[in-house]
A = this chain, B = another copy of it.
Amino acid sequence: MEFLVRVDIGWPADGDQDEFARLLSAERERARVLASEGIIRRMWRVPGQQANWGLWEAPDATALHEALTSLPLFPWLSIEVEPLAAHPTDPERPGGR
Contact = CB atoms under 8 A, between A and B. Distances in A.
Interface of A: 1-5, 10, 12-15, 28, 31-32, 35, 40-49, 52-53, 55, 60-62, 64-66, 68-69, 75-77, 79-92, 95-97
A49 B69 CA distance: 9
Nearest to A7: B48
Contacts of A13: 10, 75-76
8 contacts: A3-B47, A28-B89, A43-B91, A46-B84, A47-B68, A48-B68, A48-B79, A60-B60
A14 B15 contact: yes
How many copies of this chain sit in the oligomeric assembly? 10
A95 to B, nearest CB: 6
